[in-house]
């Protein structure tokens, strides 16, 4: 299996299990602690850190 397909699987798990089903364990397993999240069109105020992303 290529590194590319491994990365795709990680993104799919984060998207479907955490964002889709609010599974915090999936976020812990797949996301970096210093993740930055951009909400909609608000690019000036990104969410900083996994804990802030999980609060959504």
pLDDT for residue 1: 60
Residue bearing the bigger pLDDT, 55 or 7: 7
- Give this prediction's pTM: 0.76
Nearest of 21, 22, 52, 18 to residue 34 by alpha carbon: 52
Higher pLDDT, 31 or 55: 31
Residue count of the chain, please give it. 56
Buried b (16+ CB within 10 A) or exposed e, 16-53: ebbeeeeeeebbeebbeeebeeeeeeeeeeebeebeeb
Model pLDDT for residues 2-44, shown as the tens digit of each residue: 888 999 999 999 999 999 999 999 999 999 999 998 877 767 8
């Amino acid at each position: 299996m290529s590194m590319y397909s491994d990365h795709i699987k990680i993104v799919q798990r984060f998207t479907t299990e955490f964002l889709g089903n609010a599974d915090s364990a999936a976020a812990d397993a797949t996301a970096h602690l210093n993740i930055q999240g951009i909400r909609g069109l608000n690019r000036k105020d990104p969410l900083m850190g996994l804990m802030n992303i999980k609060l959504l």
